[in-house]
Structure 1
Amino acid sequence: MLEKTPLRTEVRSCEPGTVLLVLTGDLDYDTAAELVAAAQEVLGGGVSRLDLDLSGLDFVDSSGLAALINVYNVAREQEAGLRIVALTSYLRHLFQVTALDHIFELPA
């Protein structure tokens, strides 16, 4: 059986109106709700942009992708921007094969 890594979220303020959410561990069925809750809390604080650092994620399943889409929708409802500022090549490929690279702004 594979060893699961708990999801950790770290909130950092970068510049006025922008919050960076750094994710590490596994974003899956068991942890997806944690991400959505953390994003809702941050976005409820009136930020104008939420940046996501996904470079520390070891694993993302379909529930994790759904959670990212939920975060995108919450940001839109709050009229806040959402950017992914860092990700692994594994996640870049995952975003491309699921066409989520057309929804999310990915770093170059």
Structure 2
Amino acid sequence: MEQSGLRVRVEVRPVGVGVVTIGGELDYDGVALLGNAIGSLRDQGVHCLLLDLSGMTFMDSSGVNAFLLAQRASRAQGGWVRLANPQPSVLRVIELVGLGEAIPLYATVGEALAA
């Protein structure tokens, strides 16, 4: 899926974890696309989400809020959200707003899946 400079790819791993790979810029215009992708996983009964940020180059407060909403919804269903592999510009935002304290942050997708 692609829209407004944002690319989102979704896959369900055999362990029941939905991996959402995000590329490009996550801002107000792209939040709906991310929400639809996450919603498609929830429709399949997947509530454990790994957000792979390796291709994401920008995130504003809309993206931060989208991640927090995803976490809240996943926890309500007994699941979780983990963030992995942010680029330096996105990591800076995560650190500035303290998002890594609210949602676990891992250096790699492998580490996040193993946690």
Q: Normalized against structure 2, the TM-score is what? A: 0.81
By how many angstroms is 1:103 displaced? Answer: 0.4
Checking the alignment, whether the CA contact within 8 Å between 1:40 and 1:71 is kept in structure 2 is: no
SS at match of 2:13: strand
| Alpha-carbon displacement from aligned partner over 1:5-38 (angstroms, at most 9, x marks no partner) | 6211111222321111101111001111211221
Percent of aligned positions that are identical: 31
More helix, by proportion: 2
Structure-2 residue corresponding to 1:72: 71
- Partner SS, residue 106 of structure 2: coil
Rounded to whole Å, the distance in 2 between the matches of 1:43 and 1:78 is: 9
Q: Any gaps of 5 or more consecutive residues in structure 1?
A: none
* TM-score between the two structures when normalised by the length of structure 1: 0.85
- Give the paired residue count: 105
1:48–1:64 CA distance, 2 compared to 1 (3 A): closer
SS at match of 1:15: coil
Q: Which runs of 4+ in 1 moved over 2 A?
A: 13-16
Q: Does 1:86 align with 2:88?
A: no
User: In the alignment, is the contact (CA less than 8 A) between 1:36 and 1:70 conserved in 2?
Assistant: no
Paired residues of 2:58 and 2:89 also in contact (CA < 8 A): no
